[in-house]
Structure 1
Amino acid sequence: MTASSRAQSFDVAAAQYAASRPSYPAALFDGIEEFAGRRLAGARVADVGAGTGIASVLLRERGADVIAVEPGEAMAGEFRQALPGVPVVRGDGNALPLAAASCDLITYAQSWQWTDPGRSVPEALRVLRAGGALAIWWNTTAFDVPWIREQHGRIAHHCGVKPRSAVRPSDDDAIRLAGLTGLRVARRQVRWSRTVSLDTHLANIGSRSAFLVLEEADRQAFFVDERERLVKIFPRYEVEETYVVDLLVALRP
């Protein structure tokens, strides 16, 4: 299964994605403003791989002038319902459908890994104005929470993918892995949590690309077993999910 196929898989679960995926804490956007050296209010922001608009909503709440870039038709449809006043154009980070020097900030929430940095970094630099910034971030696994660590292992095994290392990369390694070597980059990690229903928690897991490419029977087998496990930990059917947002902000030279 190619990365492109996995990226496109989100379109089949756009409504599920919109309803179950976690948002982001206010401290994340404080960090972006600090590292970028400007307020989001009034900034021209391109949210790339915008999906259903989870990050775009928060950027708008901070006063940003947002334009969304999203390759998936169904995801873009969900975005338009959530943010009918925000323009969304079809495209991806490897060839941004945006004019040169047209944005103060370009953001990638959970979507940088679907790009080829050899193409997406030059594209970001082309579209950014002088003094602009590129911000990429992910909600990552809180491996120090035992049940989350154990669930991560079960998911990786069931989906046939390699489990992520519980050791977080150093700043230098994170910058290298993101393809941002040679740029001035700042990093911040923000821990946060949310409490959701057990159904929402399982729907969130099911909206991940590793599950979306599986056969329906394979997906359901996992969730039947996982529900039984989690009810023993959360008998009130409310799950506290803990995340560590990993943020990188690169400044345009």
Structure 2
Amino acid sequence: MTAHERAHSFNTAAAQYAANRPSYPPAVLDAIEELAGRPLACTRVADIGAGTGIATALLRERGARVVAIEPGDGMVAEFRRALPEVPIVRGDGNALPLADASHDLLTYAQSWHWTDTARSVPEALRVLRPGGSLAVWWNTDAFDVPWIAAQHERIARHCGVRPASEARPDDLRAARLSGLSGLPLARRQVRWSRVVSLDTHLANIGSHSAFLVLGEAGARASLAEERTRLREIFPDERVEECYLVDLLVVARP
């Protein structure tokens, strides 16, 4: 399974993604404003890899003038259902359908890792106005919470992928972004949590690409095991998901 195929696997589960994926806390938007050195209100923003519009909605609530960029049919359909008044353009971070020096801020929420950074970094710098900023961020699991770390290890084994806690992708992403752009990088981490039903939690993890490419039968077996294990930890079937948002911001001179 190629990275391209994994990236587009979300289109088969776009409604599930929209209904169950976590959003981001207000502190993330606060940090973007601080590190970019400008308020989001009236800022011209392109949200790249916008998916179903989770981050786009937050940016718009802050008063940003947002256009969304998204390549996937299923994700675009969900986006238009949720945010019919926000323009969305088909495209991806490797070849932005945007004019040179046309935007103050480019955002990649949970999507930067699907780009080819040798192409997406120059593209971002091309589209940004002087003084503009590139902000990328991810909801990462809080591995210091024992049940989350144990679940992550089980899922990685079942899906045949390397556990993120071993690969340390956040540090690698930061180093690569800084190296390719040749610009100073600011980093902020924001811890937060949400309490959801067990069904929502399982639907959330089932919407990740590692599960989607397994096929229905393979995913069902693993999720059934997780349901049994989590009922022992959360007998009321209310699960506290704990996240650490990793935010990276690069400012163009």
* Aligned pairs for 1:1-253 within 5 A: 1-165=1-165, 173-178=172-177, 180-181=179-180, 182-253=182-253
Counting aligned pairs with the same residue, the percent is 69
The alpha-carbon deviation at position 179 of structure 1 amounts to 5.6
Structure 2 distance, partners of 1:116, 1:61, is 30
Q: C-alpha offsets along residues 119-174 of structure 1, whole Å, 9 cap, x if unaligned?
A: 00110011111100000000011010000000000010000001112696786x54
Structure 2 distance, partners of 1:192, 1:170, is 17
- Is this contact kept in 2: 1:70–1:91, CA < 8 A? yes
Structure 2 distance, partners of 1:139, 1:170, is 11
The alpha-carbon deviation at position 177 of structure 1 amounts to 3.5
- Is this contact kept in 2: 1:117–1:179, CA < 8 A? no
Structure 2 distance, partners of 1:167, 1:7, is 19
The DSSP-based 3-state class of the residue aligned with 1:132 is strand
The alpha-carbon deviation at position 183 of structure 1 amounts to 1.1
Structure 2 distance, partners of 1:34, 1:106, is 15
- The amino acid that maps onto 2:100 is A
Structure 1 distance, partners of 2:3, 2:40, is 32
Q: 1:180 to 1:83 in 2, by over 3 A?
A: farther
Structure 2 distance, partners of 1:217, 1:169, is 29
- In the alignment of these two chains, the number of paired residues is 252
The DSSP-based 3-state class of the residue aligned with 1:165 is helix
Query: What is the TM-score when the length of structure 2 is the normalising length?
Result: 0.96
- Is this contact kept in 1: 2:178–2:184, CA < 8 A? no
The DSSP-based 3-state class of the residue aligned with 2:247 is strand
* Over 3 Å off, 4+ runs: 166-171, 177-181
Structure 2 distance, partners of 1:53, 1:180, is 29
- Is this contact kept in 1: 2:196–2:240, CA < 8 A? yes
Q: C-alpha offsets along residues 170-228 of structure 1, whole Å, 9 cap, x if unaligned?
A: 86x54223465411210000000000110000000010000000121111111111101
- Is this contact kept in 1: 2:117–2:177, CA < 8 A? yes
Show structure 2 runs of 5+ residues with no match. none
